C-alpha cells in the first residue's frame, strides 16, 4: 500500500510538471521603445508577465524575444505583421487602417470631445468589450485586442503667428489622414505627411505648419522650423493598441491568457499616463527652447468647432454597414458617463 501511495504521488507530481509549459513569444513594434506606447510593451507587458504568472502560482512561463524600432516591419504593416504571425504580439497602428478597421478610428472623426487621454482610452477598451463590431474588426484580421493606445490632444505649430482663425486662411498645414477634415473649413490647405517628415516639409516650404501632438513635435524639434505654438485642444485619440496573433492566443494556457489580458488593460493606463506626463513636461520646456506659446482665443475655438461639417455623420454613413453610428452613440454616452463634458456632442448633430 505504501509503495502504491508513493507511486501515485510521483505520478501526480510528474503530471503537474508535464502541464507546465514555456511559450516562446515575440513582441515587436514598427516604432522605437522611446515612445510610451512601445516602451510600456517592454517594461510592463514583457517585464511583468512572468512575475504575474509566478505570483498566481502558475508554473507556465513566457520566453520573450523583443524586436522594436521597425527591425521586423514598417509602420504601415503592423496589422499584417501580427495577424500573419510575423510577430506573435505587438503594437498595431489602427490609425493607418482606415479601410480594414475604420471603426477603431472613431475618435478622429469626433474631434473636440475630450483632452483626457486616460479616460478616452479606458472608454475605447470598454467599447471593445461591449460592441461586437469593434471586436469583429480584430477577429477578421486574426488578431486579439488586449488594450488601446493613443496620443494626447492636438495643437498648432506654425512658422507664423496665429492670432485668429483668419491667419490660417490659405496656409498649407500638415494634417494627414482624418485630421485634414479638422481644418478644411478654416480655409487652410491640408498637406499630407508624418512626424518624421514634418521638419523638412516646413523647412523647405512644402508646408507652413502642422496640426500635431506636442509629444511628437518636441522630440523631433519641430519648434525650430515652426516656433509659434498655438494651443487649441482638438482632443485625445486612440491610435492603435496591443494585439496578439489569434492562433497563438488560442494555443496559450488559461493562466497566460489571464495574465496578458490583465496586462493589456494596465498597458493602456500606464502608457497614457506616461504620455500625459511627457506632454506637460514638453509644454513647459517649449518657451525655454525659443518657442512662442499662446492660446487660441476662446471665441475662435468656438468658431472652429461650430464651423466643422458633420464629419462624424458623414463617417457613420460611409461605414453604415459596419455599425458606425452605434459606435458614435456608445462612445459619446460613455464620455458623459465618465463625467467628461464633450466640446462637441457629435451624437446630437
> Which pLDDT value is given to residue 196?
85
C-alpha 119 chain-centroid distance: 13
Reported as a single tens digit per residue, the pLDDT across 41-72 is 999 999 999 999 999 999 999 999 999 999 99
Contact 247, 142 (CB under 8 A): yes
* Sequence-distant (≥ 6) Cβ neighbours of residue 248 within 8 angstroms: 25, 85, 88, 89
The Cα–Cα gap between 327 and 3 comes to: 64
> Which pLDDT value is given to residue 194?
86
CA distances from 147 to 37, 78, 223, 263 (A): 11, 15, 32, 8
For the domain covering 12-101+116-149+239-271, report its CATH number. 3.40.190.170
The Cα–Cα gap between 332 and 325 comes to: 11
Angle 9-56-33 from CA coordinates, rounded to 5°: 135
The Cα–Cα gap between 112 and 179 comes to: 12
> Which pLDDT value is given to residue 4?
42
For the chain, report the end-to-end CA distance as a whole number of angstroms: 79
Question: Which residue numbers in the chain have pLDDT < 50?
Answer: 2-18
> Which pLDDT value is given to residue 120?
98
Check: pTM over 0.75? Answer yes or no.
yes
Strand bridging mode 89-92 / 237-245: antiparallel
The Cα–Cα gap between 215 and 158 comes to: 16
All three cell numbers of 75, joined, read: 509602420
> Which pLDDT value is given to residue 2?
45
Question: Taking the domains of the chain in order of start, what are their residue ranges?
Answer: 12-101+116-149+239-271, 154-235+280-348
Collapse the DSSP code of 143 into the 3-class scheme (helix H, G, I; strand E, B; otherwise coil) and give the result.
strand
> Which pLDDT value is given to residue 262?
98
C-alpha 280 chain-centroid distance: 18
Nearest to 35 by CA among 261, 278, 284: 278
C-alpha 241 chain-centroid distance: 5
Nearest to 53 by CA among 230, 261, 280, 251: 261
> Which pLDDT value is given to residue 16?
45
Fold assignment, 154-235+280-348: D-Maltodextrin-Binding Protein; domain 2 (3.40.190)
> Which pLDDT value is given to residue 15?
44
Residue corresponding to grid cell 488593460: 265
Domains 12-101+116-149+239-271 and 154-235+280-348 share a fold: yes
All three cell numbers of 236, joined, read: 485625445
The Cα–Cα gap between 131 and 323 comes to: 9
Amino acid at each position: 500500500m505504501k509503495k502504491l501511495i508513493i507511486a501515485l504521488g510521483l505520478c501526480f507530481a510528474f503530471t503537474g510538471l508535464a502541464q507546465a509549459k514555456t511559450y516562446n513569444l515575440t513582441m515587436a513594434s514598427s516604432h522605437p521603445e522611446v515612445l510610451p506606447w512601445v516602451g510600456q510593451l517592454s517594461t510592463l507587458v514583457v517585464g511583468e508577465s512572468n512575475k504575474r504568472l509566478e505570483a498566481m502560482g502558475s508554473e507556465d512561463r513566457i520566453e520573450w524575444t523583443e524586436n522594436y524600432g521597425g527591425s521586423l516591419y514598417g509602420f504601415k504593416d503592423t496589422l499584417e505583421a501580427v495577424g500573419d504571425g510575423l510577430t506573435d504580439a505587438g503594437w498595431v497602428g489602427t490609425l493607418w487602417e482606415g479601410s480594414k478597421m475604420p471603426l477603431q478610428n472613431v475618435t478622429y472623426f469626433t474631434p473636440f470631445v475630450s483632452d483626457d487621454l486616460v479616460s478616452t482610452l479606458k472608454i475605447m477598451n470598454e467599447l471593445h468589450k461591449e460592441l461586437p463590431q469593434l471586436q469583429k474588426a480584430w477577429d477578421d484580421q486574426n488578431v486579439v485586442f488586449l488594450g488601446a493606445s493613443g496620443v494626447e490632444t492636438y495643437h498648432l505649430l506654425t512658422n507664423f503667428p496665429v492670432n485668429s482663425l483668419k491667419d490660417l486662411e490659405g496656409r498649407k498645414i500638415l494634417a494627414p489622414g482624418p485630421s485634414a477634415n479638422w481644418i478644411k473649413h478654416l480655409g487652410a490647405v491640408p498637406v499630407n505627411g508624418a512626424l518624421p517628415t514634418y521638419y523638412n516639409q516646413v523647412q523647405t516650404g512644402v508646408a507652413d505648419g502642422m496640426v500635431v501632438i506636442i509629444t511628437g513635435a518636441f522630440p523631433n524639434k519641430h519648434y525650430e522650423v515652426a516656433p509659434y505654438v498655438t494651443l487649441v485642444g482638438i482632443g485625445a485619440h486612440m491610435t492603435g493598441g496591443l494585439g496578439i496573433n489569434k492562433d497563438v492566443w488560442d494555443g496559450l494556457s488559461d493562466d497566460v491568457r489571464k495574465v496578458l489580458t490583465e496586462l493589456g488593460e494596465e498597458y493602456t493606463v500606464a502608457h497614457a499616463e506616461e504620455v500625459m506626463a511627457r506632454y506637460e513636461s514638453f509644454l513647459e520646456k517649449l518657451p525655454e527652447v525659443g518657442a512662442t506659446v499662446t492660446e487660441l482665443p476662446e471665441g475662435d475655438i468656438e468658431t472652429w468647432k461650430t464651423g466643422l461639417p458633420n464629419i462624424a455623420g458623414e463617417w457613420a454613413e460611409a461605414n453604415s454597414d459596419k455599425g458606425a453610428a452605434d459606435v458614435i452613440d456608445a462612445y459619446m454616452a460613455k464620455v458623459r458617463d465618465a463625467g467628461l463634458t464633450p466640446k462637441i456632442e457629435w451624437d446630437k448633430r
